[in-house]
Amino acid sequence: MDALEFLTSTQGRLAPRPFALGVFAVWLAGIATQWLLSGEVMHRGGMWPFIAAQAALIWIWLVLHIKRLRDAGQGPASAVGVAIVYALAIGLMIMLVAFFTNPSDVGSTTGNETGDAAAATLLVLFLFAIVFKPDFGVFTTILKGLILIAFLPAVVSLLFSIRTGLRKRVP
């Protein structure tokens, strides 16, 4: 079986070890696709490179899980459901990026890369401060709930991958 057929065809079975390596590679590639949201890439191709990469990765993730579930004697419905939820989460993220991105500023050569990095760092620090703040006021509780909801599809797909990989093989 060639590599292209291995990553695109839902036919066949997959043992736990190759499944784990494939899923790990898909997760690493998914993290790497965040680079496609950088200013230079967005200026040249818009959101389309990121959308295409995410669609391909979701399909590969689904193919790996369907094969592994078949190897464990299970049907593919649960993997399809998790993939749909994850695709909807990616769609929401795409809408948010498109909403918060000013098309005239994308890819501009103003030399503001350090300012962008500082803003991203401040955002991450702000999120950590909210999540680990001991005061549970109404505003903090609502923000914690929204942060949890935003990360839930990734957590669900990760836990599903672990559970799928740990299933016993059937003859």
Query: What pLDDT does residue 14 have?
Result: 92
Measured distance between the N- and C-terminal CA atoms of the chain, rounded to whole angstroms: 21
- Rounded to whole angstroms, the Cα distance separating 68 from 22 reads 11
Q: What are phi and psi of 168, to 5 degrees?
A: -75, 145
Contact criterion met (CB below 8 Å) for 130 and 144: yes
Domain that holds residue 47: 3-114+153-165
Q: What residue type is assigned to position 74 of the chain?
A: Q
- The H or E element that residue 39 is part of is helix 39-45
Is the residue at 129 inside a domain? no
* Predicted confidence (pLDDT) per residue in 130-169, tens digit: 777 767 678 777 777 777 788 899 999 999 999 999 999 9
- Rounded to whole angstroms, the Cα distance separating 169 from 171 reads 7
Is the residue at 91 inside a domain? yes
Is the residue at 133 inside a domain? no
Domain count across the chain: 1
For 50, 105, 157, the CA distances from 34, given in Å and listed in that order, are 8, 18, 18
Query: What pLDDT does residue 117 have?
Result: 66
- Rounded to whole angstroms, the Cα distance separating 131 from 125 reads 10
Is the residue at 134 inside a domain? no
Is the residue at 121 inside a domain? no
Is the residue at 158 inside a domain? yes
Query: 103 falls in which pLDDT band (50, 70, 90)?
Result: low
Is the residue at 142 inside a domain? no
Is the residue at 141 inside a domain? no
